[in-house]
Amino acid sequence: MKVNRVSGRVLQGPNEPVYVYEAPVRFWHWATVLCMIVLAGTGYLIGSPLPAIGGEATFSYFFANIRLIHFIAAMLFAVLFLVRVVWVFMGNRHARALFVPPVWSGEWWSGLFHQMGYYLFLRKEPHHWVGHNPLAQLAMFAMFVLGAIVIILTGFSLYAEQYGWGSAWMNAFGWVNVLLGGSQMVRTIHHLTMWYLLLFTLIHVYMVIREDIMSGETVISTMVSGIRMFKREARG
């Protein structure tokens, strides 16, 4: 099988199975999914709390527990993201695709426009890709990677406020508060970024299911086994 080393496009068959996503990448993916589910649920309750809860308020720690769960999931999300960044330098070339789209490659741009044409029903057949196709790479970088950075920084800035100026937390993240013009703007951006990441998640899930059915390669099972399998032979 002939593959472009930069873009990952399959140029010519026969197409044999390829080991694409290493175990740490797959673990990071599914652990991040769980963190995002917990963060979205608890974050929504923090931003839009219930009008009332049952029982005596003195003995109820419902929202304290919600905040605690949110903070724990946020710490895990941030640690997982940092570990994933480190793995960019340790893993195979597919581990870099999410963070470093090869925008310097003409083949990559050609694949990007071809993929856009396929999704707009202007092309009959898509190209085959060993890893993510260029449009998926660009979307995940612009929506997930940048969105994750924003939500982590604004989240830790809000968390640091409880310790006050001069604390280690504020020394590390207080600049976000100053840069964005105050706590309320930080909170608003944090909240909007949650919806931005949820929008990305909906698009991502839809496209993964669509690609698994209509494209020439496996998608969902690849993030479980790490192996990409091809249903049709590429012909250049």
Distance CA 34, CA 154 (A): 20
The terminus-to-terminus CA distance of the chain in angstroms comes to: 11
The rounded distance, in Å, linking the Cα atoms of 99 and 149 is 12
Residue 128 CA from chain centroid, whole number: 22
pLDDT digits (tens, 9 = 90+) for 75-125: 999 999 999 999 999 988 888 888 988 888 888 898 899 888 988 888 877
Task: Output the pLDDT for position 235.
Answer: 53
Strands (E), 100-169: 128-129
User: All domains of the chain, ordered by start, with CATH?
Assistant: 19-228 (1.20.950.20)
Q: Assign 127 a pLDDT band (cuts: 50, 70, 90).
A: confident
Q: Give the model's confidence band at 160: pLDDT under 50 very low, under 70 low, under 90 confident, else very high.
A: very high
Cβ-count burial 11-29 (b if 16+ within 10 Å, e if not): eeeebeebebbbeebbebe
Q: Which residues contact 136 (CB under 8 A, 6 or more apart)?
A: 115, 207
Query: Which residues, in sequence order, are CB contacts of 52 under 8 Å at separation 6+?
Result: none
For residues 7 and 45, the model is more confident at 45
**Residue that is written with structure tokens 């250049």 in the block:** 236
